[in-house]
Chain A
Amino acid sequence: MAIQAVHVPESLDGVVACSARGGRIMGGGTVVMPQLTSGSTAVTELVSLRRAGLGGVEVRDGVATIGAAATLTAVGEHPALAFLRPALRTIASPTIRNQATVGGNLFVAQPYGDLAVCLLALDATCEIAGPAGRRDAPVADVLAAGIAAGEVVVAVRVTLPEPGAWHYHKAMRRRLNSAAIVTVASVTSAGDRRIALGGLAPRPVRAVSAERLLSGRPLTPENLTEAGEAARADIDPFDDAYASAWYRARVLPVHLRRAFLP
């Protein structure tokens, strides 16, 4: 069935109202539009976030609030989010980064969604609006369970890492514009090290086994390799055109090590 309506509300209330009536939320369209064009979705109404005023980035007291409709380009252009630039440059092409949004990144299947891997490592909070009002949820919950029908992620809130506390590495088939074979993102705060992985499960996952092994230990090549091997307990890899599940699990320790010791 062809698309019946594309709503382009100019306020959050308008987005929630359209979404509550069953419209599918669309950020930049990089995932939704190909599904429509190829006829692989039954969606008949879209709700675009493009004009809803959700594209801003605000930073106050070391916390960045990134609007769900902020493009990946806009994220990279904000001076306070410069630590994310190397990660953003590994995602798609500059053209697609002008369209793809932070909110949309939370709802794409791996091996896409490297920014969602970063947000999981950063322990981001999602601000969600729905017919019942506003609520906050950890990004881990949104990645694992999604949001209720009619709800919409409005923004993600991130505590900016201390200098030197952020690590990111992505293994891909080409230097630019290729999906993840293995993505590793990590942030250390107050001695607590969080490690998130992409390309290794249907959704981004925490490498809790690796985190446990590295707790209180120095980041030596040996310790990191051991942690990478332990992290195989945290993953559920898949075969795709980029790599086999076997290969992804095989090279995980190498890339976990390279995230910290390039």
Chain B
Amino acid sequence: MPSQIVSLVVNGERREFIAAPGATLLACLRESLGLIAAKRGCAQGACGTCTVLVDGRPEAACLVAVETVADGSVRTLEGVTSGGELDEVQSAFIDCFATQCGFCTSGMIMVAEALLDRNPDPSEDDVIEAISGNVCRCTGYRPIVIAIMEAARRRREQAVPR
């Protein structure tokens, strides 16, 4: 079977591109669409740096053959906000020193976004479970947990309609 045109709704916008058979969603995002926030870390689903939201739920994009999600909805870090503003999770990551080298950050933020979309008032245990598939070799995780709790607090206070 030759390469085919795949259509996805990425960050709210319909995008079409040509994909070779079995191309991963991660490769398509990065190489066909130029969305490079999701990173290729382990390429085995173990590190979480490629996490994006597929139909609203976090998935490891390196494990998704793009044909299997054709016409689906994908959200990446690039689509978290529009217009250059940072959202509560992103700004809390900066304020709480939750990012150092930055390689894990986009995956961490996407699982945090999914968590807060479903559970605006998570416990610390909820946060730790949510990021349990995301490896960070810099921070020791503590600042990341604090940042996500802080983002949840800010979002509740602002009651931002999302």
Contacts and interface: CB of A to CB of B under 8 A. Distances in A.
Interface of A: 2-6, 8, 26, 28-30, 33-34, 36-38, 46, 48, 50-51, 73, 89, 92-96, 98-99, 176-177
B58 A34 contact: no
B67 A94 contact: no
Interface of B: 1, 20-22, 24, 43-45, 48, 51, 54, 57-60, 62-65, 67-70, 111, 128-130, 132-134
Nearest to A5: B1
Contacts of B64: 29, 33, 99
A94 B68 contact: no
A93 B67 CA distance: 24
Given A29-B68, A92-B133, A99 B60 contact: yes
Contacts of B1: 4-6
A33 B111 contact: no
Contacts of A177: 132-133
A39 to B, nearest CB: 11
A46 B65 contact: yes
B45 A6 contact: no
B22 A6 contact: yes
Chief secondary structure at chain B's binding surface: mixed
Given A8-B67, A30-B45, A94 B58 contact: yes
A177 B69 CA distance: 25
B58 to A, nearest CB: 4
Q: In the complex, which of the residues B45, B64, B134 has the most CB atoms of chain A within 10 Å of its own CB atom?
A: B45
A2 B66 CA distance: 15
B68 A48 contact: yes
A48 B22 CA distance: 11
A120 B5 CA distance: 42
Q: In the complex, which of the residues A3, A94, A95 has the most CB atoms of chain B within 10 Å of its own CB atom?
A: A95
Contacts of B60: 30, 95-96, 99
B67 to A, nearest CB: 4
A189 B22 CA distance: 45
B59 A98 contact: yes
Given A51-B68, A93-B48, A99-B59, A3 B21 contact: yes
A73 B65 CA distance: 20
